[in-house]
Structure 1
């Protein structure tokens, strides 16, 4: 029987592809050198501008694998080619793939393993970090872009992340907001880092959105974060506030014995299943009376004081109710942020050697220099 070694065939084909890519690139470099010289190699003509001075080897990682390039050297001018950028060590598609992998939540160690499996070469963590710097400018440009159209519905929320700062790991809040346009499309309005979810942080974030052109906001859907609610009333006074029903249910369940949570959930869901606000308010009063009859006074008191905050959505088109009762449209994005940030653990400080705050315009954590950090280390040692 004839046995076919598929692994050897793949290796042979891969070597053929690498050889072809290497030969083609070197031919293109030679043609570029001939154009700069004004004549071919060893060709004598009057219009010749320069002559060859040998070549030097340079490695380049491509999708076909690592290749060796012979970079021509000229006597009178510096050889500059449009084929490969100066100091470039990887094909642009390879660099884009590395950036995409990191942004997708792949750890640096996994990036090293993947690149070795795909292209036969490993990249260092520093290489991945340097490549990511190329997109920082685009990210900052996106964060400060102009918000063009009206967004009647806005869903803000925050998530706690870990940040390394001056040798310590601290909690910082990542403030996120999405909006729904008049055409019904969701759009991420902005993301900003702040020390915590307090009034000052939310005020700065909402003002940042308003300065960029956020307008036409009719309803803000969020949890009962006091700083967010107060800031929204000041920055966007014309917008109404809808308390997230799911978060409110959890607040009520915390005041109910575990054996009665299922029954309490049915009663609460019945409130928000009514056909209009008046019927929902009447049903709420009936549920409050039932909770008090079951000696659940604290749960009844919470529903009596803040239950009306979950009925704001009734003032909008009924086809939108199911999407406006909670901030679930934003929860999917928050889960994705957690998933992609989990492999990092604690994000490193951005400006370790400068008098710049780590956080963005939402407020600075502190202003520390290299000398200040050294002083802190000395104190700990003492």
Structure 2
């Protein structure tokens, strides 16, 4: 049997052999190693570029050389690995324009893109400064953020005014979203008009976005005219909410297209004059109308529902139903396989919810341009995701005999 003293000695010796790792120290060491590697690699690349331009290595003397080295100057570059020091060669007799880093650039492009995204996402300038200091160890001045925003605005404007491909867009979804902006010391609503189209191959595209002070006829007319001038053609159906200015503008700019009123918004208008206790029952009745096999049967069912509503003493709901039901059944003139997706304006409503989520943190925009730019930036991001890459509907059902042409 071992003595207690001997057991204590063995325990102490085992504890002395335990290796303790300081995670913070290891991370710092790894970061320094990566930083040194990045710095060394960039400087080697700069030296190689200088050697190719002068046709001679460092300190080499040849008759064929085009220029001479004259030392170097240091330049700081902020990277995700830390602040690295570049030794940029000075040359005589030949200009040195490096492809490694753009002239006057002080940060990685990924850092600049992150700053733009933060600002466009509604993060305040002061908050951006704090975030950049925490992430990269250096603050970004408000002037830098302003310059980056101008750069981003230029890209967004180019995207917004791009020429559309020379193809047909049979289905177009349009809507307006209201945001608050400052106007003459007061806060007013500004409408951002958005249009989404389904192309001949069945993919969705954001074809346009514009600022409209109000959803009046002039704003809608100018917006739709700009879409037509940029190449929007072959429109067979326009889907939107019940807005008289919108309907009149669609008829004027796209006279060959039919108009489909969003059935969900139509139901909401009817529910506004229906007591809550009858809500579920009326909802089932309205759904039964759109569950019919064709337009004639749906209209017949609508008349029966209106009669039942009058027996329930819901005369206003019956009047609204008969006045607007025909506008919500236009989709039945198109292939049945597309009915579910062209009956409502849900495809653009989902984008509107995403826009509101991104703009809620701002509250009130300083002007209409900043509101439009943020909305467009978000739209561009959504389009570049799976939303724009996923096929939305099979267009061979619409074009029929032209299906082979579509697939080609």
TM-score interval for Structure 1 and Structure 2 normalised by the shorter chain: 0.7 to 0.9
Shift of 1:75: 5.4
Residues 158/147 of structure 1: CA separation in 2 closer, same or farther (3 Å cut): farther
1:254 and 2:272 are equivalent in the alignment: yes
- How is 1:182-197 mapped onto 2 (pairs within 5 angstroms)? 182-197=200-215
Q: Tell me which structure has the larger Cα radius of gyration.
A: 2
- Which residue, out of 90, 97, 120, partners 1:80? 97
Shift of 1:4: 1.1
1:70 and 2:116 are equivalent in the alignment: no
1:240 and 2:263 are equivalent in the alignment: no
Greater CA drift, 339-348 or 225-234: 339-348
- How is 1:182-331 mapped onto 2 (pairs within 5 angstroms)? 182-331=200-349
Note the alpha carbon deviations across 1:210-252, whole angstroms, 9 max, x for none: 1112111111111101110110111111111111111011111
Tell me which residue corresponds to 1:127: 144
Tell me which residue corresponds to 1:156: 174
Provide the C-alpha distance between the structure 2 equivalents of 1:137 and 1:213, rounded to a whole number of angstroms.
Answer: 21
Provide the C-alpha distance between the structure 2 equivalents of 1:98 and 1:284, rounded to a whole number of angstroms.
Answer: 54
| 8 Å contact from structure 1 (residues 194, 359) kept in 2 | no
TM-score (norm 2): 0.78
Provide the C-alpha distance between the structure 2 equivalents of 1:256 and 1:138, rounded to a whole number of angstroms.
Answer: 48
Provide the C-alpha distance between the structure 2 equivalents of 1:142 and 1:109, rounded to a whole number of angstroms.
Answer: 29
Residues 104/351 of structure 1: CA separation in 2 closer, same or farther (3 Å cut): closer
Shift of 1:196: 1.0
Note the alpha carbon deviations across 1:38-78, whole angstroms, 9 max, x for none: 54444444455554444433211112121122333345665
Question: RMSD between aligned alpha carbons?
Answer: 2.7
Note the alpha carbon deviations across 1:103-156, whole angstroms, 9 max, x for none: 566665665455445433333444333223333333222222224211111110
Tell me which residue corresponds to 1:13: 30
Greater CA drift, 254-263 or 65-74: 65-74
User: How many residues matched?
Assistant: 355
- Which residue, out of 19, 41, 45, partners 1:24? 41
Tell me which residue corresponds to 1:366: none
Secondary structure of the 1:227 match is helix
| 8 Å contact from structure 2 (residues 66, 94) kept in 1 | no
Secondary structure of the 1:89 match is coil
Q: Which runs of 5+ in 1 are unaligned?
A: 353-357, 361-382
Provide the C-alpha distance between the structure 2 equivalents of 1:299 and 1:38, rounded to a whole number of angstroms.
Answer: 86
